[in-house]
Structure formats: structure tokens, C-alpha cells
């Protein structure tokens, strides 16, 4: 397998190594050893790739040393590959756009024949594969994984070549060559635990610590050598896996924002970047669609207790957000999120006795209709819950028929969930503050849920009031720090 060893401009590289803050050996290790991950939009074209390459170089110069850089496919390449697969099934094989994108980039940097040949070889392999799909009229999950793998396999070779050209010693590696071995659940493979040891050994014994390993995100191999993918957006998981396997100081996910925000900036313009969140809080935020890592991607970092830092490649001196073991206890509330346009369903048992089994019947019915519930509150004879737009219940929905003989169902439209990511050990303080704000603004809470996770408190309000509610809460928790006088005695009421 050609791992794309690039044209080394050895003189420049030697000079650069001299200038490195730490060259290993007997010198003191003061550099931060990190893994950096860059997503597709950060690598969309030559200009973006150049920005990232220069960023890596300047980060090394200030002691932020990547053992590995994980790259996604360039721009929308993964989607384009998936489309190319569909077209092949319809009888059309065309990789022109992908050829143009990758070869134009190579030309713009003047990366030379060697790199161009490597990419041509991959593109030809891709084209052959698509011709196979066209002939066989078959595109299995296993073939799909092989198909999309070409995106990352091309992007790393270009990135490594550009880094070498600007004097940063780099080498491209398809992830399996460094030990990324997975299960065979194509499209959604899991990293095998044995990969950790393999990756660690590769980095300690085979990769020159003065070279940056440029590694394909998102893809892996089964033990028998079949290419797999880790699910869409899987490059983050590649980064956390390598960071954990090599016990690096930090896992850095570079984006184009200053980190995780206190609130959606499209809703609250004065939203601020959060400096620190716990893994649990970040997972909760991800669920609400905040630009965070997928909870699965955080697992390796969480287990190895390695901080994940979300940083802005357009503002590299900003510290970004650190996701770590502990939350930031200086702030009562970490972030405010919301989910709009949801339904609130009240289900009240019509059998006054034997509430026994009522909840289980309700949940079984929701499961039967594949309706996933977000927030929930219950009493012995009733349960209220919310459903998002994707799984809404309408008049005459089969759910109502199924539950009709045991309950009355009342569906209320136009609701929103406001969720505060906070430490629920301080819930009295949070609730007192929220209700003070809501009382001042005349906002009624229709349902409340707390405690299922240790980091969130949710309020259901009318969707028409959500903006005013969130603005006021943000103002109170993040801007004006409004005061709530808590009783001084310790007795809980
Ligand atoms: N390129 C893959 C995707 O678009 C993986 C990633 O970007 O993390 O899903
Ligand atoms: Mg992507």
C-alpha cells in the first residue's frame, strides 16, 4: 500500500526541525502533544487547505505539536461519492467533478507528478469500482464504505504534500496502516478495543516524532482487511481514538467558531463562547443540535480523561471551549438551548383504579408507533410528554386508537422546550432564578422536568414566548448576572 510518502524538501524541513520548540532527545518536553482534526469544510479547496497548512505550521512554532492531524474528505466529497454511487446504479459513471477538485488543488500548489499520480491511481480505482456497480446493479453497505473511503484517502495525501512543501515534515497514512481496526458493521462500524494498543505501538515505534502523521478520518479496516466507515461525521471519533490511544495532552477539533456557545447565536446575538464544559454537558448539548462532537466520539476521550478542545481556525489565539471531566463551577448555567415547534401530549387514565401498568401500556404504544419522546412528567393517573416535529401525532393517529380505551388524549401544538445545561445539585438556585425571570415576563411554564440527567433542567413553554424567554434567561445568567437572594439557613424546604 502506498501511504503517500511525499516529496520532501529536505533542506527546508531540516531548518524547520531546528526551529521546533522541542526536538525530543534529552531536551525538556514542554510542547503540548496533540491531535488536530479538520472537517470537510475546512478543507474545501486549495485556499482552505492552505489556511489549515499554515495554521498547523504556526501552531507547531508556538509549541502546539500535532502527533497526528485527522482530515475529512475535501468539501462535499463524501456526499458527492454517495451520489456517484446512486448514478452508477442508474447506469451513469462520472467522476469528473472529483477529478477536477483534487487535481486543481494539486496544480494550484504545484505538488508535483508523484502526488498527481497517487491521486490519479485512486480516482481510477474509484472509477473502476463505479463501473462494477453499474454492471452488477448492486451497491451493498460494504461497497458503499469502500466507495466513500476515497474522499479521505485523497485529502490526506494532498494535505501531507502541502505541509512538506512549506517545510513541515508530514506523512499521509490510511488509518488502517496505523492500527485503526473496526467491527464489520459497514456504515457504522465500532473501533475494536485492540486498536488502542496497535495505534500506540505505531506512534511509539514506527512514526518519527518529528513528522506529523496525516491520517484519514472516518474510515477503518476490519480484521480481514475490508474497508469500513465509522458513521457520518466519524472523523471526530478517529481523532479522539488516536488521542486516547497515544495518551496525548489534548484532542483539538478545529472549526470556524470560537467554541461551543452559551446559546444559539442566531437567536441571541450576545451569545458568548463557553470556556469549559463537562463531557456529560457536551453530550446533552449535542442532542440539542449544538455544534459539538457526537456523544459517541467523546467516549474515548472521556474514558482516557483527555480534554477535547474546540478551536477556531480563523481565530487561533482564542482558547476555544475545553470539554473535560468537570464542569465550570463558576457559572450556575453552562448553556441554554431550545427545541421549537413541538407537541405536548397529555394522557390521562380513564380507569380510576389500577394505575398499575398504565405507564407501561403508554410506553409500549409509543414504542409500537416508533414515536420518540423527549421530555416527560407523570403522576399516577396521567402522563405528559413532548414529541418533536419528526414524530408528531395528529387527530386520528393510530396511537390515539390504541390508547383510546384506557386514556383521554389531549394534543397541544406550538410548544417549545427550553433546556438549561446546569449542575442540578444547584437546582433550587436555578429554578428560583428562572421563575423570577419568567414571572417578570409573564411566561407560564406548562411542564417541567429535572433530574433524568444530572446536567439538565427543561421547561415547556408556548413556542410564541420562547424568544423572549431565552433572551431574558440569557441576559440573567450570562450578561447581567441577576441576583436571587437565597435563604441563608441550610434547611431544605
Ligand atoms: N467525510 C465524512 C462525512 O462527511 C466524515 C467526516 O467528515 O467526519 O461524514
Ligand atoms: Mg464531513
The whole-angstrom separation of Cα 221 and Cα 235 is: 14
Residue 143, C-alpha cell as written in the block: 461497497
Please compute the mean of the pLDDT values over residues 343-367 and round it to a whole number. Answer: 82
Residue 227 C-alpha to ligand 1 middle, in angstroms? Answer: 15
**Phi, psi at residue 265, to the nearest 5°?**
-65, -15
The CA radius of gyration of the chain, in Å to the nearest whole number, is 26
Is the predicted pLDDT of residue 402 greater than 80, yes or no?
Answer: yes
Residue 489, C-alpha cell as written in the block: 439557613
Which residue's alpha carbon is nearest to atom 8 within ligand 1? Answer: 233
Which residue's alpha carbon is nearest to atom 5 within ligand 1? Answer: 233
Q: Which residues contact 85 (CB under 8 A, 6 or more apart)?
A: 130, 133, 139, 143, 144, 147
Is the predicted pLDDT of residue 10 greater than 80, yes or no?
Answer: no
Residue 479, C-alpha cell as written in the block: 450578561
Return the minimum-mean-pLDDT range out of 41-45, 67-71, 401-405, 433-437: 401-405
Which residue's alpha carbon is nearest to atom 6 within ligand 1? Answer: 233
Residue 352 C-alpha to ligand 1 middle, in angstroms? Answer: 53
The CATH number of the structural domain formed by 10-255 is 3.40.1160.10
Return the minimum-mean-pLDDT range out of 22-26, 96-100, 225-229: 22-26
Instruction: List residues near ligand 1 (CB under 6 A).
Output: 39-40, 72-73, 78, 151, 217-218, 232-235
Q: Which ligand is nearest to the CA of 77?
A: 1
The domains of the chain are located at 10-255
- Cβ distance 449 to 457 under 8 Å? yes
**Cα–Cα separations (whole angstroms), residue 152 to 156, 220, 437:** 6, 11, 49
Q: Residues 285, 286, 289, 292: what is their CA dihedral angle, to the nearest 10 degrees?
A: 100
Is the predicted pLDDT of residue 197 greater than 80, yes or no?
Answer: yes
Q: In the chain, helix, strand, coil percent, each to 5?
A: 40, 20, 35
**Phi, psi at residue 346, to the nearest 5°?**
-100, 125
Q: Which ligand is nearest to the CA of 37?
A: 1
**Phi, psi at residue 282, to the nearest 5°?**
-65, -40
Using pLDDT thresholds of 50, 70 and 90, give the confidence band for residue 372. Answer: confident
By most ligand atoms within 8 Å of CB, the mutation choice from 36, 72, 149, 228 for ligand 1 is: 72
Residue 155 C-alpha to ligand 2 middle, in angstroms? Answer: 12
Question: Which pairs from 464-471 meet CB under 8 Å and 24+ separation?
Answer: 464/414, 465/416, 465/441, 466/338, 466/340, 466/416, 466/418, 467/267, 468/441, 468/443, 469/418, 469/437, 469/438, 469/441, 469/443, 470/263, 470/267, 470/268, 470/336, 470/338, 470/418, 471/268
- Cβ distance 449 to 420 under 8 Å? no
Of ligand 1's listed atoms, the one at least distance from the Cα of 40 is 7
Q: What is the pLDDT of residues 407-443, one digit of tens each?
A: 999 999 999 999 999 988 889 999 999 999 999 999 9
User: What letters, b where the CB count within 10 A reaches 16 and e where it falls short, cover 192-220?
Assistant: beebbebbbebbeeebeeebbbbbbbbbb
Q: How far apart are the first and last CA of the chain?
A: 69
- Cβ distance 88 to 137 under 8 Å? no
Residue 38 C-alpha to ligand 2 middle, in angstroms? Answer: 9
Q: Which ligand is nearest to the CA of 73?
A: 1
Q: Where are the alpha helices (DSSP H) in 262-388?
A: 279-287, 295-304, 358-368
Is the predicted pLDDT of residue 211 greater than 60, yes or no?
Answer: yes
Of ligand 1's listed atoms, the one at least distance from the Cα of 231 is 9
Please compute the mean of the pLDDT values over residues 122-151 and round it to a whole number. Answer: 98
Total-model pTM: 0.86
Residue 221 C-alpha to ligand 2 middle, in angstroms? Answer: 19
What DSSP state is assigned to residue 465? G
Of ligand 1's listed atoms, the one at least distance from the Cα of 234 is 8
Cβ-in-10-Å burial (0-12, 13-18, 19+) of 326 comes to: exposed
Residue 236 C-alpha to ligand 1 middle, in angstroms? Answer: 9
Residue 338 C-alpha to ligand 1 middle, in angstroms? Answer: 26
Q: What is the pLDDT of residues 296-330, one digit of tens each?
A: 999 999 999 999 999 999 999 999 999 999 888 88
Amino acid at each position: 500500500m502506498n501511504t503517500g510518502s511525499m516529496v520532501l524538501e529536505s533542506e527546508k524541513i531540516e531548518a524547520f526541525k531546528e526551529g521546533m520548540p522541542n526536538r525530543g532527545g534529552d531536551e525538556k518536553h514542554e510542547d503540548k502533544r496533540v491531535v488536530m482534526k479538520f472537517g470537510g469544510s475546512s478543507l474545501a479547496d486549495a485556499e482552505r487547505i492552505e489556511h489549515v497548512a499554515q495554521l498547523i505550521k504556526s501552531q507547531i512554532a508556538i509549541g502546539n505539536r500535532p502527533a497526528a492531524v485527522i482530515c475529512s474528505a475535501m468539501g462535499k466529497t463524501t456526499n458527492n461519492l454517495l451520489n456517484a454511487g446512486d448514478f452508477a446504479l442508474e447506469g451513469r459513471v462520472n467522476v469528473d467533478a472529483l477529478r477536477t477538485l483534487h487535481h486543481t488543488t494539486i496544480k494550484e500548489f504545484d505538488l508535483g507528478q508523484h502526488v498527481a499520480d497517487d491521486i490519479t491511481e485512486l480516482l481510477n480505482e474509484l472509477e473502476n469500482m463505479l463501473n462494477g456497480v453499474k454492471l452488477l446493479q448492486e451497491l451493498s453497505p460494504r461497497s458503499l464504505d469502500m466507495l466513500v473511503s476515497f474522499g479521505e484517502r485523497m485529502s490526506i495525501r494532498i494535505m501531507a504534500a502541502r505541509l512538506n512543501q512549506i517545510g513541515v515534515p508530514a506523512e499521509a497514512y490510511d488509518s488502517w496502516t496505523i492500527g485503526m481496526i473496526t467491527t464489520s458493521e459497514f456504515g457504522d462500524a465500532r473501533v475494536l478495543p485492540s486498536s488502542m494498543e496497535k495505534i500506540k505501538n505505531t506512534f511509539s515505534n514506527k512514526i518519527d516524532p518529528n513528522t506529523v502523521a496525516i491520517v484519514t478520518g472516518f474510515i477503518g479496516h476490519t480484521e480481514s482487511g475490508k474497508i469500513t466507515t465509522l458513521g457520518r461525521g466519524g472523523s471526530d471519533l478517529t481523532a479522539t481514538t488516536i488521542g486516547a490511544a497515544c495518551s496525548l495532552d489534548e484532542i483539538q477539533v478545529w472549526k470556524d467558531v470560537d467554541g461551543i456557545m452559551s446559546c444559539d447565536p442566531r437567536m441571541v446575538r450576545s451569545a458568548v463562547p463557553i470556556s469549559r464544559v463537562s463531557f456529560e454537558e457536551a453530550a446533552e448539548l449535542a442532542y440539542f443540535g449544538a455544534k459539538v462532537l457526537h456523544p459517541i466520539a467523546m467516549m474515548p476521550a472521556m474514558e482516557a480523561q483527555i480534554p477535547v478542545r474546540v478551536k477556531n481556525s480563523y481565530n487561533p489565539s482564542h482558547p476555544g471551549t475545553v470539554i473535560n471531566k468537570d464542569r465550570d463551577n463558576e457559572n450556575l448555567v453552562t448553556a441554554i438551548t431550545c427545541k421549537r415547534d413541538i407537541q405536548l401530549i397529555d394522557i390521562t387514565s380513564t380507569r380510576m383504579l389500577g394505575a398499575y401498568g398504565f405507564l407501561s401500556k403508554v410506553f409500549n404504544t409509543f414504542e409500537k408507533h416508533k414515536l420518540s419522546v423527549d421530555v416527560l412528567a407523570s403522576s399516577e393517573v396521567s402522563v405528559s410528554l413532548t414529541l418533536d416535529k419528526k414524530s408528531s401525532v395528529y387527530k386520528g393517529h393510530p396511537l390515539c386508537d390504541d390508547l383510546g380505551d384506557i386514556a383521554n388524549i389531549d394534543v397541544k401544538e406550538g410548544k417549545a422546550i427550553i433546556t438549561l445545561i446546569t449542575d442540578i445539585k444547584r437546582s433550587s438556585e436555578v429554578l428560583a432564578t428562572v421563575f423570577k425571570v419568567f414571572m417578570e415576563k409573564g411566561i407560564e411554564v406548562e411542564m417541567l422536568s429535572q433530574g433524568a440527567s444530572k446536567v439538565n433542567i427543561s421547561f415547556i413553554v408556548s413556542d410564541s414566548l420562547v424568544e423572549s424567554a431565552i433572551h431574558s434567561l440569557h441576559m440573567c445568567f450570562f450578561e447581567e448576572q441577576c441576583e436571587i437572594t437565597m435563604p441563608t439557613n441550610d434547611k431544605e424546604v
